Amino acid sequence: MSPLPPALLPDNATIGPAGRLAIGGCDVVELAAEFGTPLFVYDEAELRSRCREAVAAFGDGVAYAGKAFLCRAMARLAHEEGMHLDVATGGEMHVALSAGIPAARLVMHGNNKSSRELEAALQAGVGRIVVDSHDELDRIESTVTSEGCDAPAVLIRVNPGVEAHTHEFLRTGAADSKFGLAVESGEARRAVDRAAASPAMRLVGIHAHIGSQVFDVASFRREVDVLAPIVNDFALPELSVGGGLGVAYVEGESAPSITEWGATVRRAASEAGIGARVTAEPGRAIVAHAAVTVYTVGTLKRIDGIRTYLAVDGGMSDNPRPVLYGSGYEAFLPRAVDAARPERVRVVGKHCESGDIIVAEARVPADVSVGDLVATPVTGAYGHSMGSNYNMVRRPPVLFVKDGNARLVVRRETYEDLLGRDVG
Ligand SMILES: *Cc1c(COP(=O)(O)O)cnc(C)c1O
């Protein structure tokens, strides 16, 4: 029955006298009228303050994990606020470089970087390469030799075997993983030894990432404890604890702040005698809470004794997380944010899949009707970035709103865009 918890709305959301939602001083109903739906609306000031919080919590070197949400405006924003930028593919690197981010501020990730990606990263002069395998060490050595590039600064990605309590598909730190080199088997030390001895690279540290949507900061403390002996034995100057800090998506959840996370990690590092620079690479914790997705209700189907389906004009193509992970979200009406929500509905999209669900068990005001706007909060991470063109649905635009101004940073896809690569 209860209204949407305001804590799930972006920091600079306000509710007007009639119950209407504004974000960054922009009325969301008016934004939808001007830009159409579906629509991603990001609170730019919140994005900036999360970046500043990360820099304050971890210091220089902390990187924004671009895969959570990447476009040129976001890359520039993170850079302007003092963050480095993680890129995991040649495509992400291309976006970051085309945004004008200096290559020295980029950290190149990926468990299967191609020779071309490595060549491009080395030629651009990326600040760090995080090496995920012995094959990659081979490839860096041969590329540096054949291209005559400078030896890059590298971190070895190790697998600490720490199981974060999170969804199985998000868990990357356990022994059975495609990521990193295992600490327990000694593989991590062998790779560190090899990198330290190689003239083709400059070993600066190790890196680990224990998973995503981690709510218990004690998991990061265990990670630091497992990594400390390697950092200390090799006197490495840098340690990156990865990303993964969780965010609250639905009523009743609460997550640690970036500040609390940083304090825990730094305390653990100092207690473990680590003198290295300790950094992290948050993605979700920077962008998730800052955005809402706005849809238009197209059909309401009441199946007596079973359920009501509320279908909107987007779906798994703008937010695949419910399908991939069974993730939960809330729903609300931007015209009546503080209204009670007695009506149980399932919010579904327009795709040709029964699994095309946005909110499996949503509650909405009783007067919801066709033509209404319905919105989902906390959709700033892994929605736009994991989106698709399934059913040739055009991907939605992205707005940054701040101080009463709305700035279009990604336009809506057009039907022509859908044919752009179709050369048959
Ligand atoms: C995904 C990922 C991140 C960011 O994870 P979040 O859960 O979005 O904070 C950081 N580092 C690496 C290596 C990743 O794979």
Please write the tens of the pLDDT for every residue from 265-298.
999 999 999 999 999 999 999 999 999 999 999 9
Alpha-carbon distance 387 to 364, whole Å?
A: 25
Return the structure tokens found at 148: 């005559």
Q: For 372-390, how does the pLDDT look when each residue is reduced to its tens digit (9 = 90+)?
A: 999 999 999 999 999 999 9
Pick the atom of ligand 1 nearest to 382's CA.
8
Q: Work out the number of other CB atoms within 10 angstroms of the CB of residue 390.
A: 15
Is 51 in the active site?
no
Q: Which amino acid is at 358?
A: I
For residue 63, the surrounding DSSP H or E stretch is: strand 63-65
For ligand 1, atom 3, name the residue with the nearest CA.
243
Residue 110 in contact with residue 117, Cβ under 8 Å? yes
- Predicted local confidence at residue 17, as pLDDT: 87
Q: How far is the CA of 143 from the centre of ligand 1 (A)?
A: 27
Residue with tokens 């100057």: 237
Q: Give the residue from 134, 124, 133, 185 showing the smallest Cα distance to 160.
A: 185
Does 243 sit in the ligand 1 pocket, CB within 6 Å?
Answer: yes
In terms of DSSP H, where are the helices of 59-186?
72-80, 90-98, 115-124, 134-147
Q: Quick check: CB of 211 below 6 Å from ligand 1?
A: no
Atom of ligand 1 nearest to the CA of 211: 7
| 111 CA to centre of own chain | 18
For the Cβ of 226 lying below 6 angstroms from any atom of ligand 1, the answer is no
| CA 249/CA 251 separation, integer angstroms | 7
- Catalytic-labelled residue, pool 51, 71, 149, 352: 352
Contact 137/113 with Cβ under 8 angstroms?
no
Residue with tokens 């909107």: 312
Q: Token pair of 126, please?
A: 């990326």
Report d(CA 349, CA 264) in Å as an integer: 40
Q: Where are the alpha helices (DSSP H) in 153-217?
A: 187-197
Q: With contact defined as beta carbons under 8 Å apart, do 183 and 160 qualify?
A: yes
| Predicted pLDDT at 284 | 98
pLDDT in tens, the chain (424 residues): 799 999 999 999 999 989 999 999 999 999 999 999 999 999 999 999 999 999 999 999 999 999 999 999 999 999 999 999 999 999 999 999 999 999 999 999 999 999 999 999 999 999 999 999 999 999 999 999 998 999 999 999 999 988 676 554 455 556 788 999 999 999 999 999 999 999 999 999 999 999 999 999 999 999 999 999 999 999 999 999 999 999 999 999 999 999 999 999 999 999 999 999 999 999 999 999 999 999 999 999 999 999 999 999 999 999 999 999 999 999 999 999 999 999 999 999 999 999 999 999 999 999 999 999 999 999 999 999 999 999 999 999 999 999 999 999 999 999 999 999 999 9
Rounded Cα gap, residues 361 and 325, in angstroms:
15
Q: Is 161 in the pocket of ligand 1 (CB under 6 A)?
A: no
Cα 281 to ligand 1 centre (Å): 6
326's CB contacts (< 8 A; 6+ apart) are 167
Contact 317, 391 (CB under 8 A): yes
CA separation (Å) from 311 to 40, 329, 348?
18, 15, 5
Q: Is the C-beta atom of 65 inside 6 A of ligand 1?
A: yes
**Quick one: pLDDT at residue 424?**
94
- Per-residue pLDDT reduced to its tens digit, 8-29: 999 999 999 899 999 999 999 9
- pTM assigned to the model: 0.97
Element (H, E) at 46: helix 44-58
Answer for the pair 58, 265: CB distance below 8 angstroms, yes or no.
yes
